Structure 1
Amino acid sequence: MAAAPLVLVPGYWLGGWAWERVTPLLEAAGHPVTALTLPGLDPGDPDRSRATLEGHVAAVAEAVRAAGPTTVLVAHSGAGKVVTAVLDRDPAAVARVVYVDSGPAADGLADAVPADVTELPLPPWVELEASLDGLSDADLATFRRRAVPHPAAVAREPVRLTDPARRTVPATLVACSFPAATILELAAGGHPMFAEVAELTDLTTVDLPTGHWPLWSRPAELAAVLGRAAGGGH
């Protein structure tokens, strides 16, 4: 049986290039891979102010349709919001969802971004509320050089979810910044960042201790995790 396809969705400030260390390993194992650059995240995009949450959801949904129903949909970091909306609209569209240092969003999730802000640049490292563990100076330099300001509307607009069947899609949670046991404990306690994890009906957790960007800090191990998730999704 053919290896399942994967659609990879990066977090804030990133395009499909962010998966460059992971994609060849998955393809070598036989998986068709689509690494997305969402609207407004291409450095050549002339106007990021036009990018919207709806546009991001539509772009991911289209990639999933093109890949087919055996697809494993992978969300890194803030892409969890977009991917949750995709699952809400068509829970049968994918075979499995994988959250990489990410998780499912709750209805109404939105960042507090002022209405007059059009883009969110990558902040200085000391202001970045995420672990940089495992990244070399060269990694950080590449991140800084290639990062594209994230469209503010995508962060500001609330996600609207209506179909609880999204929670029945088989899910894998790859825990990097925090151990999976800690995430599950916080979810069970109703922590707003993790509460939706407790609602998932078919959840596998995998610990991959590193910082928030395992795409660069532990690409081989992440590719192996994604390959196993895809192997169980078809």
Structure 2
Amino acid sequence: MNHIVLIHGAWQGGWVWQIITSSLKIHNCSITVIDLPGHGENIYPIEKVTLELYIDQVVKKIMSLNGPVQLIGHSMAGIVISGVAEKIPDKIDNLIYLCAFLPCNGDSVMSLSQLFPQHPQLITNMVEGGLATELSATSKMEIFMHDSSEDIAKLAMSNFGIQAIEPIYTPLTLSQANFGSVKKHYIRCNKDRAIPPELQDIMLCRVPCDTVQELPSGHSPFFSHPMELVETIKLILIQINHTK
């Protein structure tokens, strides 16, 4: 049985995976969904939320599980799962990046975003004394969920939270011996407006992955194309199991 650990992106929480988790379980997968510190139900003082804290809490959770895991990260969480692989490569069977930031050593979310500055800019407001941002309603709808159904988008709108700034600007230290030793797979979303396909391609050229799958989706395939996403993850797991 594959054990999948799901990590959400910025301004969101583990709630984004609710539509697909039951279907993944049907495919003989056990699922662990994590709320990063300061997100969802993981309440944390915003001034203490750091990239290192994100990584450490995911590491702690994985260490409590039996055997290596398939670690899936969406969007910003590409940075997080990469940092986890650097710390505990032997506990990660595969990294799966879902339209996510794919870093080299020294990269951050912000530095990777600047590799393709032509994409639409997110509209955010500073909150918590400048320690965090909140995403505007326009950006939620037009950048994150432009291809999701109106009903699902409306339900999701109220669940978005604030995002600490520190994890966005913090560079990640990665090594070939640790991070480089873990197999990587990428799910490219070709209608993404938050991390455009052009930026996804740039990152894939810098950090080649073992496999690349494609979805005709925007930035939130768990809302807009949930069953296609499940089938894509299933396909990756089948490929992984065949190579063992």
TM-score by length of 1: 0.82
Q: Match of 1:157, as an amino acid?
A: T
**Aligned residue in 1 for 2:26:** 28
SS in 1 for 2:29: coil
CA gap of 1:146–1:127, structure 2 versus 1, over 3 A, is closer
Q: CA deviation at 1:230?
A: 2.9
Q: CA deviation at 1:46?
A: 5.5
Q: CA deviation at 1:41?
A: 0.5
Asked if 1:169 corresponds to 2:176, the answer is no
User: How far apart, CA to CA, are the structure 2 residues paired with 1:163 and 1:135?
Assistant: 38
Question: What percent of counterpart residues are identical?
Answer: 21
Whether the 8 Å contact between 2:104 and 2:206 is mirrored in structure 1 is: no
Aligned residues: 222
Q: Match of 1:117, as an amino acid?
A: G
The residue correspondences of 1:74-153 to structure 2 (distance < 5 A) are 74-110=72-108, 111=110, 117-126=130-139, 130=143, 132-153=145-166
The residue correspondences of 1:142-221 to structure 2 (distance < 5 A) are 142-177=155-190, 186-187=201-202, 194=203, 197-200=205-208, 203-221=210-228
SS in 2 for 1:92: helix
Moved more, 12-21 or 42-51: 42-51
User: How far apart, CA to CA, are the structure 2 residues paired with 1:44 and 1:37?
Assistant: 6
1:189-214 deviation line (CA, Å, top 9, x unaligned): xxxxx16x5433x5101111111000
Q: CA RMSD in A?
A: 2.9
Whether the 8 Å contact between 1:12 and 1:77 is mirrored in structure 2 is: yes
Q: CA deviation at 1:183?
A: 5.6
User: How far apart, CA to CA, are the structure 2 residues paired with 1:121 and 1:50?
Assistant: 17
Q: CA deviation at 1:64?
A: 2.2
For residue 47 of structure 1, the aligned residue among 45, 48, 53 is 45
User: How far apart, CA to CA, are the structure 1 residues paired with 2:200 and 2:44?
Assistant: 44
User: How far apart, CA to CA, are the structure 1 residues paired with 2:61 and 2:211?
Assistant: 24
**Aligned residue in 2 for 1:224:** 231
Q: CA deviation at 1:231?
A: 3.6
Q: CA deviation at 1:48?
A: 2.0
**Aligned residue in 2 for 1:18:** 16
User: How far apart, CA to CA, are the structure 2 residues paired with 1:221 and 1:185?
Assistant: 19
Ranges in structure 2 where 5+ consecutive residues have no aligned partner: 112-123
User: How far apart, CA to CA, are the structure 2 residues paired with 1:212 and 1:58?
Assistant: 26
Whether the 8 Å contact between 1:64 and 1:93 is mirrored in structure 2 is: yes
User: How far apart, CA to CA, are the structure 2 residues paired with 1:126 and 1:217?
Assistant: 16
TM-score by length of 2: 0.79
User: How far apart, CA to CA, are the structure 2 residues paired with 1:43 and 1:36?
Assistant: 10
SS in 2 for 1:99: strand
Ranges in structure 1 where 5+ consecutive residues have no aligned partner: 188-193
CA gap of 1:163–1:170, structure 2 versus 1, over 3 A, is closer
SS in 1 for 2:212: strand
User: How far apart, CA to CA, are the structure 2 residues paired with 1:74 and 1:31?
Assistant: 13
Whether the 8 Å contact between 2:49 and 2:167 is mirrored in structure 1 is: yes
User: How far apart, CA to CA, are the structure 2 residues paired with 1:226 and 1:183?
Assistant: 22
